[in-house]
């Protein structure tokens, strides 16, 4: 069993902890968070060994010594500081998208560059928006070549648990200048891709939506594009014919499906949005559940770093354990 230590027990850390314990080949040996609160107490009740750094100062290094690998899901920028302790103790670590790309040897999504991450000591699972974009752009680039991509990223303002960022009544240009950081982050995974993004923050907590236009190198039909995307692991379609025309219905479906924390691990494409604007240009609208989408990638990053499974094997095991859907939601 791979012994996993988790640093940070917020939106991402608590989901990674649960996902790790659902695998047959790894288990959580401890969790470190900043302060003692209700989530620490619930974690303890659920059998996790959670400690608060405010109360146990040496807790982080103790956990690092115990674990085979660390998943650092502390707030952006703290992982880079913690890296000193991982280096000192010669421990591998997975970082999250809030860290700079330079914190790790590779920026990662499982289907795009598992091979590049194989055996690496420091892997950065890219942000929710980047993961969502790469899952669609990588197969399109592989099968048709991408000449240029443009995405409007409509971002949720905060996660449901966060109160410090709200309440708000505004649409924030995030930032006003182009490009937003998302396209630059995509390029840390798909090197040299010609992509620009612009981002807006809106008063919602459920999901992000991306409005994506991709110009291809070669002509393609709608059927060919659909076939490429349907084969991609962790990409699913949602149909307006079945009543999906907003993020609310996707989250409601995840609740109805009995998903843990109503999580949607897949990149969702609104089926009827897929439109050929001309023979070489495709349009798509994507839904990204920011709290959940990077969770399967964290599990695969652990196996890649420790060379415990091939790409296909790891994706298959992770998908089965989390009940990840093929083709369509519902």
Instruction: Quote the CA–CA distance of 220 and 70 in Å, as a whole number.
Output: 43
Name the DSSP letter for residue 261: G
In the block, tokens 């149909």 appear at: 239
Q: 146 vs 189, which CB is nearer to ligand NAD?
A: 189
128 carries an active-site annotation: yes
In the complex, the smallest distance separating the C-beta of residue 165 from ligand NAD, rounded to whole angstroms, is 11
In the numeric block, which tokens belong to residue 297?
């990638």
Q: 78 vs 306, which CB is nearer to ligand NAD?
A: 78
* Residues 223-282, interacting with ligand NAD (CB under 6 A): none
Instruction: Quote the CA–CA distance of 118 and 302 in Å, as a whole number.
Output: 10
In the complex, the smallest distance separating the C-beta of residue 9 from ligand NAD, rounded to whole angstroms, is 4
Q: Does 185 bind ligand NAD (CB under 6 A)?
A: no
Residue 327's CB is within 10 A of a number of other CB atoms, namely 10
The DSSP result for 300-320, as a single string, is: HHHHHHTT-S-HHHHHHHHHH
Structural contact between residues 96 and 12, judged by C-beta atoms closer than 8 angstroms: yes
Q: Does 287 bind ligand NAD (CB under 6 A)?
A: no
Q: Does 160 bind ligand NAD (CB under 6 A)?
A: no
**Out of 11, 107, 314, 318, the residue judged to bind ligand NAD by CB under 6 A:** 11
Residues 6+ apart with CB under 8 A from 40: 9, 33, 50, 51, 52
Number of residues that bind ligand NAD (CB under 6 A): 26
* Residues 85-124, interacting with ligand NAD (CB under 6 A): 96-99
Report the catalytic residues. Answer: 128
For binding to ligand NAD (CB under 6 A), which residues are involved? 7-13, 32-34, 53, 73-76, 78, 96-99, 127-128, 159, 290-291, 294
């Amino acid at each position: 069993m791979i012994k996993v230590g988790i640093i940070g027990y917020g939106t991402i850390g608590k989901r990674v902890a649960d996902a790790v314990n659902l695998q047959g080949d790894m288990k959580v040996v401890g969790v470190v968070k900043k302060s003692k609160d209700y989530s620490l107490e619930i974690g303890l009740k659920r059998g996790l060994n959670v400690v608060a750094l405010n109360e146990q100062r040496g807790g982080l290094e103790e956990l690092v010594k115990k674990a085979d690998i660390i998943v650092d899901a502390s707030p952006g920028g703290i992982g880079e500081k913690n890296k000193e302790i991982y280096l000192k103790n010669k421990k591998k670590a997975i970082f999250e998208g809030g860290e700079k790309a330079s914190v790790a040897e590779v920026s990662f999504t499982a289907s795009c560059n598992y091979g590049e991450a194989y055996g690496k000591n420091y892997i950065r699972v890219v942000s929710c928006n980047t993961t969502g974009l790469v899952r669609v752009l990588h197969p399109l680039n592989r099968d048709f070549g991408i000449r240029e991509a443009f995405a409007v990223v409509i971002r949720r303002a905060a996660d449901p648990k966060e109160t410090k960022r709200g309440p708000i009544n505004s649409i924030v240009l995030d930032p006003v200048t182009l490009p937003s950081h998302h396209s630059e982050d995509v390029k840390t995974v798909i090197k040299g891709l010609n992509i620009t993004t612009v981002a807006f923050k809106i008063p919602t907590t459920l999901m992000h939506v991306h409005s994506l236009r991709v110009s291809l190198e070669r002509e393609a039909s709608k059927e060919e594009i659909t076939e490429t995307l349907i084969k991609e692991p962790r990409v699913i379609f949602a149909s307006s014919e079945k009543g999906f025309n907003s993020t609310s219905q996707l989250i409601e479906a995840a609740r109805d499906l009995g998903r843990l924390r109503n999580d949607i691990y897949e990149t969702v494409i609104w089926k009827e949005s897929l439109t050929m604007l001309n023979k070489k240009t495709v349009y798509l609208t994507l839904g990204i559940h920011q709290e959940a989408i990077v969770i399967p990638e964290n599990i695969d990053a652990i196996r890649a770093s420790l060379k415990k499974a091939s790409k296909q094997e790891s994706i298959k095991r992770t998908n089965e354990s989390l009940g990840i859907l093929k083709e369509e939601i519902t």
